[in-house]
Amino acid sequence: MTAPNSETPSPVAPAGDFIRAAVTEDLKSGRFDHVHTRFPPEPNAYLHIGHAKAIWIDYGVARDFNGLFNLRFDDTNPTKEEQEYVDAIIEDVKWVGGKFDDRIFYASDYFDRMYEWAEMLISKGVAYVCDQTADQVSAGRGSLTHPGTVSPFRNRTVEENLDLFRRMKAGEFPDGSRTLRAKIDMASPNLNMRDPVMYRILHAPHHRQGDKWAIYPMYDWAHGLEDSLEGITHSLCSLEYENHRPLYDWFLDQLGIYHPRQIEFARLNMTYTVMSKRRLIDLVKSGAVRGFDDPRLPTLAGLRRRGYTPEAIHDFCDRIGIAKADSTVDVALLEHCLRETLNKIAPRVMGVLRPLKVIIDNYPEGQTEELDAVNNPEDPAAGSRKVPFSRELYIEREDFMETPAPKYFRLSVGREVRFRYAYFLKCVGFTKDPATGEVTELHCTYDPATRGGDAPDGRKVKATIHWVSAPHSLAAECRLYDHLFTKPDPDDVPEGQDFTANLNPNSLQTLSACRVEPSLAAAKPGERFQFERLGYFCVDPDTSAGRLVFNRAVTLKDEWAKIQKKG
RNA sequence: UGGGGAUUAGUGUAACGGUAGCACAACUGACUCUGGAUCAGUUCGUCGGGGUUCGAAUCCCUGAUCCCCAGCCA
């Protein structure tokens, strides 16, 4: 058998969404014979979960059709862009699973070719140098309901345009003094077609090109050329570019060069957070959060620090779907995806957030024993570990109630509960700080016959609680996070206020007196654990020798919390 | 009073003239050495009004509402 490739069937359409359906159709009709997509961020901000959605669409479409995927920096505006962002974006795209291999490109590398093409359009008589000021251009554009007026410079000769444009490039003119414009239609109902600016004069050093250029291309002019040069088949972007598609097509058609297809989809919005670059920057600059990797932010750096895995984000992106209607996804879905992912892989461990000392009156002083604890009930291969037990323990303050509420199954005087993997313990008394009324110490007795957690007489307990051995436990700081905003829609504010009025003052709670089991001594930043009954925690980079810091990524579902809420 | 998009349970998304489905959320219950996980179940929907058709979320007409566009930003 020879030439097996001639028999290779075109990939079967995973037509799950309208984009894949369109791509399938293009392959079928012969408009394209392969698929090549790209993710084109401007390096002027950190990526967020909305970008993850875009990446997962761009990359996912290429993957599903056995195509290729490029990472391309749309670095056409040197006044806003920085290398720092380039580096951060590369890391984030890789982390979130967009596989671009070595296909990392920069729009700025195409500036020479773009320039040549611009001269071509000038020669063709469909582009001209305009001497109007920014204000004049703006005024001449007309309004949504009224046509624009033609620029007095619109009918310069090709020679004059060429000369002026070359001198613009040579840096002879000051910023803002002239532009190169496409000659299209000042009366078009689509304002983007009213002689859009192709180049502006900017005497600004570019982070990659240095001082080479005094003129820089505008998005509309540049983007289609970038796609064309890279052989992109499907240029996927968000809805606001729908109005720009006629212009995207116009430039490519005027040039007569390879013509990709632009398809738009709705960007991601999520409850209880904000997604715009400007707002994210505001939050960081104002100190509302600690940086772009603050675990409360929807940035990929923030989610990563919080404890999110790429798999959880993939799952999320797969579930939210792709459509053209503006929508706001419930952040609870993202959290659900994280729980589901971490439930399968996170080792279980015991940690106490708000410690309450327990003394076992009938347990021999100075004795220690090692008890077996399962590492992950969802994964037998994860094995087990030894956990030390002794006369003095710490339990969660909220696992004891002086006067137990209805449906409260945990400890109170006279009640017996199971200490996970250890013994049945019965509370026999407690001490209180007379000044504050705070419970300071619990006294319990244990039943030696229940070692391991089961009673030979078959008696049951209604609750199992977690604990750590006081002398063996490690000190830790835990950072508990809540939504950054108190309302699903941060813009839901009284007249005259902005979204910052809805900032949640309790979005971060730092608990610095936590105690965790000794097996955590060697935990490394980025490692994730389930603290039994509490949630999933991720070791923070602030961790240093002798100082463990954890971020709570997400809580476990909490039936008791619901009961309490209902009153 | 311009142009371009959109509208299906609380939220997100399927159904492409033939039983409106799935997921999250919410609520029941079972089970449980995590009030976790798991399992079983319940509640809840086609923007309005006409029309075509045996049959309409889907086609036609007509309204309504929402989003985007007047950067030398992307």
For the segment A464-484, what is each residue's pLDDT rounded down to a tens digit? 999 999 999 999 999 999 999
Task: Kindly tell me the burial class for residue A207, based on how many C-beta atoms sit within 10 Å of its own C-beta (0-12, 13-18, 19 or more).
Answer: middle
Average pLDDT of the segment spanning A135-160? 97
pLDDT at residue A3, as a whole number: 33
Cβ atoms of residues A233 and A261 within 8 Å: yes
Average pLDDT of the segment spanning A201-208? 98
Nearest partner of A178 among A188, A166, A186, A190, judged by Cα = A166
Average pLDDT of the segment spanning A439-449? 98
3-state secondary structure of A373: strand
Report residue A467: phi and psi, to 5°. Answer: -160, 170
* pLDDT above 60 (res A218): yes
Nearest partner of A428 among A411, A440, A448, A410, judged by Cα = A411
Using the CA of A373, give the nucleotide whose C1' is nearest.
B33
Which element (helix H / strand E) includes A106?
Answer: strand A104-106
Which element (helix H / strand E) includes A152?
Answer: none
Residue A408: HSE in the Cβ half-sphere, 13 Å Cα cutoff: 16
CA distances from A364 to A151, A343, A361 (A): 95, 37, 8
Question: CA A79, CA A83: separation in Å to the nearest integer?
Answer: 12
β-sheet with A351-352: strand ranges across: A348-349, A528-531, A535-539, A548-555, A474-481, A508-516, A351-352
Average pLDDT of the segment spanning A537-557? 96
* pLDDT above 60 (res A115): yes
ipTM tops the 0.95 cut: yes
DSSP designation for A453: S
Q: Point out the residues of A that are catalytic.
A: 42, 267, 277
Cβ atoms of residues A515 and A477 within 8 Å: no
Closest protein CA to C1' of nucleotide B22, residue? A319
Interatomic CA–C1' length for residue A532 and nucleotide B36, angstroms: 8
Nearest partner of A356 among A443, A479, A251, A269, judged by Cα = A443
Nearest partner of A428 among A449, A414, A408, judged by Cα = A414
Nearest partner of A98 among A32, A22, A47, A44, judged by Cα = A47
Question: CA A531, CA A353: separation in Å to the nearest integer?
Answer: 10
pLDDT at residue A20, as a whole number: 97
User: From the centroid of its chain, how far is CA A307?
Assistant: 11
Nearest partner of A48 among A265, A317, A292, A272, judged by Cα = A292
Closest protein CA to C1' of nucleotide B26, residue? A562
Question: CA A539, CA A514: separation in Å to the nearest integer?
Answer: 14
Report residue A531's pLDDT band, with 50, 70 and 90 as the boundaries. very high
Nearest partner of A77 among A51, A105, A107, A57, judged by Cα = A107
Interatomic CA–C1' length for residue A330 and nucleotide B53, angstroms: 40
Interatomic CA–C1' length for residue A323 and nucleotide B51, angstroms: 29
Interatomic CA–C1' length for residue A549 and nucleotide B66, angstroms: 45
Domains and CATH numbers, chain A: 18-267 (3.40.50.620), 277-347+476-566 (2.40.240.10), 351-466 (2.40.240.10)
Question: In chain A, pLDDT over 70 holds for what percent of residues?
Answer: 97
Using the CA of A533, give the nucleotide whose C1' is nearest.
B34
* pLDDT above 90 (res A8): no
Q: Identify which has the larger pLDDT, A7 or A235.
A: A235
* DSSP result, A205-252: -BTTTBTS-SEEE-HHHHHHHHHHHTT-SEEEEEGGGGGGHHHHHHHH
Average pLDDT, chain A: 96
pLDDT at residue A5, as a whole number: 34
Report residue A15's pLDDT band, with 50, 70 and 90 as the boundaries. low
Give the angle A199-A204-A206 at the CA atoms, nearest 5°.
Answer: 90
Interatomic CA–C1' length for residue A561 and nucleotide B30, angstroms: 21
* pLDDT above 80 (res A376): yes
Using the CA of A220, give the nucleotide whose C1' is nearest.
B74
Average pLDDT of the segment spanning A344-349? 98
For the segment A284-338, what is each residue's pLDDT rounded down to a tens digit? 999 999 999 999 999 999 999 999 999 999 999 999 999 999 999 999 999 999 9
Nucleotides of strand B under 7 angstroms from a protein beta carbon: 1-8, 10-14, 16, 23-27, 33-38, 66-74
Cβ atoms of residues A292 and A284 within 8 Å: yes
Give the gyration radius of chain A's Cα atoms. 31
Interatomic CA–C1' length for residue A326 and nucleotide B65, angstroms: 14
Using the CA of A422, give the nucleotide whose C1' is nearest.
B33
Structure token pair of residue A27: 């392959």
Strand locations in A218-365 (E): 234-238, 261-265, 348-349, 351-352, 355-360
pLDDT at residue A13, as a whole number: 41
Report residue A437's pLDDT band, with 50, 70 and 90 as the boundaries. very high
Q: Identify which has the larger pLDDT, A567 or A46.
A: A46
Using the CA of A192, give the nucleotide whose C1' is nearest.
B69
Contacts of residue A468, defined as CB under 8 A and 6 or more positions apart, other chains included, come to A350, A351, A352, A393, A394, A515, A516, A517
Which residue type occupies A27?
L
* pLDDT above 50 (res A528): yes
Structure token pair of residue A34: 């392969």
Question: CA A239, CA A53: separation in Å to the nearest integer?
Answer: 14
